[in-house]
Amino acid sequence: MSCIFCEIANGERAADLVYEDEIAVAFRDINPQAPTHILVIPREHIAGPLSVDADNAPIIGHLVAVAAKIAQQEGIAPDGYRLVINQGRDGGQSVFHIHVHVLGGRRMSWPPG
């Protein structure tokens, strides 16, 4: 099974990495929707939020912690930022390896589109 985010995580596909550790990798979105738009992914292939259970939930918590670190690094923490995890067609998911979108640098609207 080929997965573009697994390929980025294991270095087979180029990406503009901003952070990595033994559990997670973060890189700039190729089609940014805000001045700062970074994706945080687990090294482990988890298809999406619907595949999160008690066993792998700590990994998702780690992604949120990494997002906070990145927000500090990027200078978007003081004004705030938005985290998004899309699931399935109606959620707008296009890559089926779970990822947290970190969006900042502009005021986000609500409700989301």
Binding residues for ligand 5GP (CB under 6 A): 4, 15, 27-31, 39, 86, 92-95
Which of 28, 45, 82, 106 forms a contact with Zn ion (CB under 5 A)?
A: 45
**CA–CA separation, 27 vs 5, rounded Å?**
10
User: Among positive and negative, which fits the CA dihedral 6, 8, 11, 12?
Assistant: positive
How far CA 76 is from CA of 12, 35, 52, 67, 84, in Å, comes to 30, 10, 28, 11, 16
CB of 41 to Zn ion, least distance (A): 8
Cβ nearer to ligand 5GP, comparing 1 with 54? 1
Which of 26, 76, 97, 101 forms a contact with Zn ion (CB under 5 A)?
A: 97
- Annotated catalytic residues are 99
